[in-house]
Amino acid sequence: MIDESAIRLRFEALCDVLDERGRRRFAAAEALAAGRGGVTAVMRATGIARSTIGRGLAELRAGEEFAVGRVRRPGGG
């Protein structure tokens, strides 16, 4: 069983200092750590969309890096 309340507490402790990319990667890391059903648990605990968590997972798996000071890819707004 995944402890969604623990995920929620960690997210609430960090959400004010995380930017868009940080929130996405935090959610993805939590989903990976939780294992099966992790994406759904993180989605319920944080309110972050499944697609956003999926993008975070893809970034973590690819080892994607961004230039210092950038939150989005070039051309991403």
Phi and psi torsions of 75, nearest 5°: 85, 0
77 residues of the chain, pLDDT tens digit each = 899 999 999 999 999 999 998 999 999 999 999 999 999 999 999 999 999 999 999 999 998 676 566 666 666 65
Q: Where are the domains of the chain?
A: 4-62
pLDDT of 77: 56
**Could you give the dihedral angle defined by the CA atoms of residues 30, 36, 37 and 42, in that order, rounded to the nearest 10 degrees?**
0
Helix axes 20-34, 38-46, angle to 10 degrees: 140
pLDDT of residue 1: 86
